[in-house]
Amino acid sequence: TVFNSLNHDMTLAEFKFIWYMEYSHRMWGRAVGLAYILPAAYFWHRGWLSRPLKGRVLALCGLVCFQGLLGWYMVKSGLEEKPDSYDIPRVSQYRLAAHLGSALVLYSASLWTALSLLLPRHKLPETHQLLRLKQYAHGTTALIFLTALSGAFVAGLDAGLVYNSFPKMGERWIPDDLLAFSPVLRNIFENPTTVQFDHRILGIASITAVTALYLFSRKIPLPRRTRMAVTSLLAVACMQ
């Protein structure tokens, strides 16, 4: 069904390219799983893990397995028969967002665990400004995470193909079909125009928040490592 409705003119060489790309992705995912689980089992057996670290390692290994299961569940949605739908076959944007979100959580937790083991914690005085900076950093992190998830909805719905002009969408700042679906809440997740509009707003909000975080951090005496992290965050946000 997918072949007949979407890629009926695909050549064998084109099919092989997509097949090997998907196969490599799956093999890489399995290699990541082994890179987690095998060393974890070895370190556990040798008694090199503290009790708190054992819990964290178990959680990470479980998240790796969950990520693979979620990937299968996502791909499965693109192969299901949908007799009532006239849209081209595609994976569910909800499952795609869940798969990406799970990957981001896994990556962030892995990096956090590694850095907490490799680098000693700084003992800083709990000043009012430092607490505000920490809270603002957490809020910025949540905003960036939400922006990334909205990107998964853009990809899942091919919403990037709807409008290709910026900052306006076509000839308007706010497109006419922004709330075309009913009920209204459905537009946020299923209307390609609304999904692209939300992603643009979240992207602008993210770069604004990162810039404000950087400027606020300049007013506070911080360790060199922390200052490098904030500066790198701004550089990567601008590049993105």
89-135 pLDDT, tens per residue?
A: 678 899 999 999 999 999 999 999 999 999 888 787 888 899 999 99
More confident residue, 189 or 84: 189
Which residues have C-beta within 8 Å of that of residue 91, sequence separation ≥ 6? 74, 75, 77, 78, 156
What are the φ/ψ torsions at residue 58 (nearest 5 degrees)? Answer: -60, -40
pLDDT interval class at 208 (50, 70, 90) = very high
Lowest-confidence segment of 23-27, 65-69, 78-82, 171-175 by average pLDDT? 78-82
- In the predicted model, what is the mean pLDDT of the chain? 90
Residue 8 sits in the same domain as residue 65: yes
For residue 178, pLDDT over 70 is answered with yes
Read off the pLDDT of each residue in 187-205 and give the average, rounded to a whole number: 95
For position 138, what pLDDT does the model report?
96
For position 218, what pLDDT does the model report?
93
Look up residue 3 and give its two tokens. 């072949």
Q: How far is residue 56 from each of residues 32, 51, 113, 134, measured CA to CA in Å?
A: 17, 9, 8, 23
User: Domain range holding 70?
Assistant: 1-119
Q: By C-alpha distance, which of 217, 187, 221, 219 is closest to 233?
A: 217
For position 7, what pLDDT does the model report?
72
* Per-state percent for the chain, helix, strand, coil, to nearest 5: 75, 0, 25
Q: By C-alpha distance, which of 53, 69, 30 is closest to 116?
A: 53
For position 31, what pLDDT does the model report?
94
Q: By C-alpha distance, which of 174, 169, 240, 172 is closest to 207?
A: 240
Residue 98 sits in the same domain as residue 27: yes
Read off the pLDDT of each residue in 11-25 and give the average, rounded to a whole number: 91
Residue 112 sits in the same domain as residue 9: yes
For residue 221, pLDDT over 80 is answered with yes
CA Rg, the chain, in Å? Answer: 22
Total domain count, the chain: 2
How far is Cα 33 from Cα 92, in angstroms, rounded to an integer? Answer: 24
Domain termination residue (choose one: 51, 86, 119): 119
Domain termination residue (choose one: 85, 119, 153): 119
pLDDT interval class at 6 (50, 70, 90) = low
Domain termination residue (choose one: 119, 137, 163): 119
For position 121, what pLDDT does the model report?
81
